[in-house]
């Protein structure tokens, strides 16, 4: 919080409209960055997130710098339950804890190469506008088995960016900031509440209805996080376990 209001510093924020990425908006603002949110429309089922992302960008006064990027080809490629209508999203009762999940147990909701793609596009945007950092709300504790949420993945992408980009070659590489990576969901929510992050505008449900389902992996993690943080989740649920 010590770098408050250092005028020209810019950061690109990968903003899905969910709890984690919205917390990243609050953290980047508190660090004094001018916010350049970027949201990806890749035919995901939870399309309500796109509206949430727009509302969050507006909340932070960043709607004029908010890019919504169409990636319809990801749906065309197929291969994930999040974009492929022929694969069902699991409604599991045993998957609320993921901390020690083995690496080969990658869930069907994995979208091939998604975060690599998101970070590549964010890099292009960051380089074009002269941003010094990209914020992404990945989390190592409850990464749910996605290979591209792990810290070693993020470090490797930074190494690529250092050799791939103009700014990397010419001196000042773009940093990837992952402020949530070591935090539990409860810690994220506590930090977010201190920063007055607008959680009432966010949804985390994989099924993407107007009311969150309360039973998918993502809803369970969120509800457990609010409970452990000792605070009320301001959004509506169809069911709570």
Q: Residues 24, 53, 74, 176: which binds its own copies (CB under 8 A)?
A: 74
Site string for its own copies, 40-69 (x = CB under 8 A): ---------------------------x-x
Half-sphere exposure in the Cβ direction for 96 (13 Å, CA):
12
- 161 among the known binding-site residues? no
Binders of its own copies among 149-178, rule CB under 8 A? 150, 152-153, 156-157, 159-161, 163-166, 168-170
Report the SS3 class of residue 37. strand
d(C-alpha 63, C-alpha 56), whole Å:
9
- 149 among the known binding-site residues? no
- Contact call for residues 18 and 197 (beta carbons, < 8 A): no
By beta-carbon proximity to its own copies, the closer residue of 22 and 123 is: 123
**Angle value at C-alpha 210, between 199 and 110, nearest 5 degrees:** 80
Q: Residues 10, 50, 90, 120: which binds its own copies (CB under 8 A)?
A: 120
Phi/psi at 214 (nearest 5 deg)?
Answer: 85, -5
By beta-carbon proximity to its own copies, the closer residue of 27 and 149 is: 149
- 22 among the known binding-site residues? yes
- Should residue 123 be labelled a site residue for its own copies when binding is judged by CB under 8 A? yes
Tell me the H-state helices in the chain. 19-30, 48-59, 72-77, 114-129, 151-164, 166-170, 185-194, 217-229
By beta-carbon proximity to its own copies, the closer residue of 101 and 193 is: 101
Residue 91 token pair: 């409604």
Residue 58 token pair: 């507006």
d(C-alpha 108, C-alpha 89), whole Å:
7
- Should residue 138 be labelled a site residue for its own copies when binding is judged by CB under 8 A? no
- Should residue 85 be labelled a site residue for its own copies when binding is judged by CB under 8 A? no
**Other C-beta atoms lying within 10 Å of the C-beta of residue 187:** 15
By beta-carbon proximity to its own copies, the closer residue of 68 and 141 is: 68
Q: 120 Cβ partners below 8 Å, 6+ apart?
A: none
Q: Residues 63, 128, 194, 239: which binds its own copies (CB under 8 A)?
A: 128
Least CB distance from residue 10 to its own copies, whole Å?
13
- 219 among the known binding-site residues? yes
Site for its own copies, rule CB under 8 A: 67, 69-70, 72-74, 76-79, 103-104, 106, 110-117, 119-121, 123-125, 127-129, 147-148, 150, 152-153, 156-157, 159-161, 163-166, 168-170
Residues at the annotated binding site? 15-25, 205, 213, 216, 219
């Amino acid at each position: 919080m010590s770098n408050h209001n250092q005028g020209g510093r810019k950061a690109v924020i990968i903003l899905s409209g969910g709890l984690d990425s919205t917390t990243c908006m609050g953290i980047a603002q508190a660090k004094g960055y001018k916010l350049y949110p970027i949201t990806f429309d890749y035919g995901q089922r939870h399309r309500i997130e796109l509206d949430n992302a727009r509302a969050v960008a507006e909340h932070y006064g960043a709607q004029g710098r908010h890019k919504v990027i169409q990636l319809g080809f990801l749906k065309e490629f197929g291969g994930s339950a999040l974009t492929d209508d022929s694969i069902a999203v699991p409604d599991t009762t045993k998957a609320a804890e993921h901390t020690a999940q083995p690496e080969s147990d990658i869930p069907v909701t994995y979208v091939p190469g998604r975060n690599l793609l998101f970070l590549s596009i964010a890099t292009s945007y960051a380089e074009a506008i002269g941003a010094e950092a990209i914020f992404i709300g990945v989390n190592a504790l409850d990464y749910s088995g996605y290979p591209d949420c792990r810290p070693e993945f993020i470090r490797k992408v930074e190494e690529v960016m250092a050799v791939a980009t103009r700014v990397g070659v010419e001196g000042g590489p773009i940093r990837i900031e992952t402020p949530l990576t070591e935090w539990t969901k409860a810690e994220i929510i506590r930090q977010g509440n201190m920063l007055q992050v607008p959680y009432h505008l966010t949804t985390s449900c994989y099924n993407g209805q107007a009311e969150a389902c309360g039973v998918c992996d993502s809803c369970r993690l969120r509800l457990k996080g609010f409970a452990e943080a000792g605070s009320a989740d301001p959004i509506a649920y169809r069911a709570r376990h």
